[in-house]
Chains A and B, each alone.
Chain A
Amino acid sequence: MKNIFKSAMVILSALLAFTSCNNSSKSGGKSGALAGNVAEKVYVAPGEHDEFYAFISGGFSGQLSVYGLPSGRLFKVIPVFSQDAEKAYGYNEETKPMLNTSHGFVPWDDSHHPDISQTNGVIDGRWVFINGNNTPRIAKIDLSTFETTEIIEVPNSAGNHSSSFVTENTEYVVAGTRFSIPIPQKDMPIKDYKGNFKGALSFISVDPEHGHMDIKFQVIMPGFDYDLAHPGRGASHGWFFFSTYNSEEASTLLEVNASQNDKDFIAAINWKKIEEYVNNGGGKMMPANYAHNVYDEDTHTATSTMKKEVLVVNPSDVPGAVYLLPTPKSPHGCDVDPSGEYIVGNGKLSANLTVHSFTKMLKAIEDNKVAGDAYGIPILNFEDVLAGVVEQPGLGPLHTEFDGKGNAYTTFFISSEVVKWKLGTWEVVDRQPCYYSVGHLMIPGGNSQKPWGKYVVAMNKITKDRYLPTGPEVTQSAQLYDISGEKMELLLDFPTVGEPHYAAGCPADLIKPRSKKLFKLEDNKHPYACKNEADTKVVREGDVVHVYMTTIRSHFSPDNIEGIKVGDKVYFHITNLEQDYDVPHGVSIIGANTSELLIMPGQTETFLWEPKQVGVWPFYCTDFCSALHQEMQGYVRVSSANASTPLKWSLGEDIE
């Protein structure tokens, strides 16, 4: 026993010596040692996992990418609003309905603001919501499969930008229109914009169990541009705040004409009040036409339903539900601190940051201190709601997030920096340059009641010379800063997929244990699934042929098919019989006018092949699955349209 104790002491002291050695090297010297220290902070050893997930939107790529922090490593690009040939999203028969809209199949969008679902104001890691800007849509991504499982189109909306932010129990995901439009749409002169165009703010309810989305109501607001939004937290839960610009209601040369008013507004919406109004039969059902697309995990198939009406609310019909807070110079970001008391209006043309107070707002409402109205909506006095001003922090403030320790971090596009300042005293604590022209920033949980204030990710709009050049188009870029200390420290640049518009992050432990490894074959309810090789078959229905095919290492069943004719529509329904982690199979056939399939274990996917030429055409596995991957291939014999070749299929024997 004594010996064990002795040797333990020896090991301990050796460790201590080693550690203190390490410390001295850290504190000694400047740049060299410091650089080494920085590298250590973002180094995640091979096989180790990152501490945080970051879901970074792809902007004009229409997708959502998944990164690890602090390493900045890319794990997955989740296709959301754009087709993805790699994963067959929007190409295979199962997911084509996901991209259906009232305008038909739209294979692209501009994805902007991911927001993770919350419970009691804290991120719960169940779903990520994200908005499509161009053809207004809100998508839901399930974080057990990291797949897009629902997309709802937003009617009466255009440039769906002040979206998709969740209330503190994910009661609603909110989508506000950036561009005001005629509601309902009609043929009218553009110059008649003022007073006639309207802006719809949509409150989309989220089923607490399945997450299914449904537009509960739309608040039809004056024809401003609704830029960004944020829900109240804690005390201000039940309110939603939208920044506006173009309160001038200009319809042309907005860069000048929408920059004339000294102050625009933050619209404060008491959604609980409107919800109550609606629940008591308030509002008006108006005709509409919008798609609701739902992916079912058991059938592995999406369905698209067109909805024909939407409930709209005129704010002047609900007194006390909507107020306008004057905010200087075309505010962009509209951010609420974790306590819910402060509403930061980032007036992008202002030199100062304006912070409103929720309690002062309530007081002003209570005292009925109204300065005027806009189309019947009361405007409060700027001075009555103002909590404080951060004086001259930088140029072009855009967005603010919080660390949960009383500090706020604001990005400045023009002066290209992140500025740290203190809530309440409004003093600037630190500033760090961004390379270049930062837009949004993200602290994991930094827009919720519970930020994990260890890192901030700055998402830049311009990259220029930061990486090896790749011709005129260079990579997009994000930057990681350590914010655990009093001063911020730049740790890492990392390239991103598409424009890193905004991001949402949370500790990996919230999501990692729930991440699925495979789909259970026995739960597969795809109508064309084939769960064992004995049941594989080829069925002809006129010109349409259904191939019920399976994959398992390292063959297709069947792998020889005859009796297909030129002009047939051949649907390959492929079920991956594997039940092992990370054993997908891929497939395509020569001349298929669509993407490959990439089929996860237990899943069924379908692609359409319309053979145009007589011959014997090979197909093969496209995902390197096993040692015999190269042998995983087959042939389809295509005869002329009037041939009488009988329909046959086989595996492991010659077709007789």
Chain B
Amino acid sequence: MKRSNIVMLVASILPLGLFLFPLWKITLEAPQYPTPLGMYIHINDFSDVHPHDIKNINLMNHYVGMKYIPEAIPEFKIFPIAIIASTVIGLLIAFKGNYKWFLGWFILMIIMCSAGLYDFYLWEHDYGHDLDPKAIMKFTNPDGSVMGFQPPLFGSKDILNFRAHSYPQLGALFLGLGIAFSFVAHLIGKKAKNSTA
């Protein structure tokens, strides 16, 4: 097996780390929460950072009319299928394909991740803006528009008394490494091809 194909093999397996580790983490800090509230986003689940965190995030958010974080979302079915499919394709490519295919897989993954992030953004936006009209507390921006409570996609942001942090986790690192490896496989393969040619 060629070196580039071995690298591609590793690349296609790495995203499976998403089934072992969380993809993303949202943390909410406030003075009343010396232990911050936190939620992990997995490829197929939301989970508490500390016991009952999601229940307590929901309790806080209901004051401003935000919906409860759902037990499950359609993405929890789609994302695992997409990841498994891409791994299968990646493995096929690793065994059968060459560096051009590697680049193809790389581009496919970039598109998929971008779509995933965009989907996440849409959900976040809806979660932060689609508020109950009977919300207990209504806040407006300085311009008079209704204040939203969308957590940041990436980074940190103040939302009322909370400071929200949103950062990728180990699962995302595995995915990112997989993507990077496929590009490396592509470069190695290309270089090998050029040197033999």
Contacts and interface: CB of A to CB of B under 8 A. Distances in A.
B59 A552 contact: yes
Q: How big is chain B's contact interface, by range?
A: under 10
A579 interface: yes
Q: Which 4 pairs show the lowest CB-CB distances between chains A and B?
A: A579-B52, A580-B56, A553-B59, A579-B55
B182 to A, nearest CB: 37
A115 to B, nearest CB: 33
B63 A580 contact: no
Contacts of A1: none
B136 A628 contact: yes
A45 interface: no
Nearest to B32: A582
Interface string B135-172: 01100000000000000000000000000000000000
Interface in A565-616: 578-581
Contacts, number: 16
A14 interface: no
B51 interface: yes
Interface of B: 35, 51-52, 55-56, 59, 63, 136-137
A628 B56 contact: no
Interface of A is mostly: loop
A627 B30 CA distance: 14
A579 B63 CA distance: 17
Contacts of A580: 52, 55-56, 59
A242 B35 CA distance: 49
Nearest to B51: A579
Interface string A355-370: 0000000000000000
Interface centre among A552, A579, A580, by most chain B C-beta atoms within 10 angstroms, is A580
A581 B33 CA distance: 9
A553 B59 CA distance: 7
B165 to A, nearest CB: 20
A1 to B, nearest CB: 29
Contacts of A628: 63, 136
Nearest to A602: B52
Given A579-B52, A579-B56, 14 more contacts: A552-B59, A553-B59, A578-B59, A579-B51, A579-B55, A580-B52, A580-B55, A580-B56, A580-B59, A581-B35, A627-B63, A627-B137, A628-B63, A628-B136
Centre residue among B51, B59, B136 by max chain A CB count within 10 A: B59
16 contacts: A552-B59, A553-B59, A578-B59, A579-B51, A579-B52, A579-B55, A579-B56, A580-B52, A580-B55, A580-B56, A580-B59, A581-B35, A627-B63, A627-B137, A628-B63, A628-B136
Most chain A beta carbons < 10 A, residue from B52, B63, B136, B137: B52
A598 to B, nearest CB: 19
A627 B64 CA distance: 12
Contacts of B35: 581
Nearest to B53: A580
B34 to A, nearest CB: 9
A579 B55 CA distance: 8
Contacts of B63: 627-628
A553 B56 CA distance: 10
Interface in A519-569: 552-553
A180 to B, nearest CB: 54
Contacts of B56: 579-580
Contacts of A581: 35
A627 B52 CA distance: 20
A523 to B, nearest CB: 12
A484 to B, nearest CB: 31
B135 to A, nearest CB: 12
Nearest to B59: A553
Contacts of A578: 59
Contacts of B136: 628
Contacts of B51: 579
A579 B52 CA distance: 6
A262 B51 CA distance: 65
Contacts of B59: 552-553, 578, 580
Contacts of A552: 59
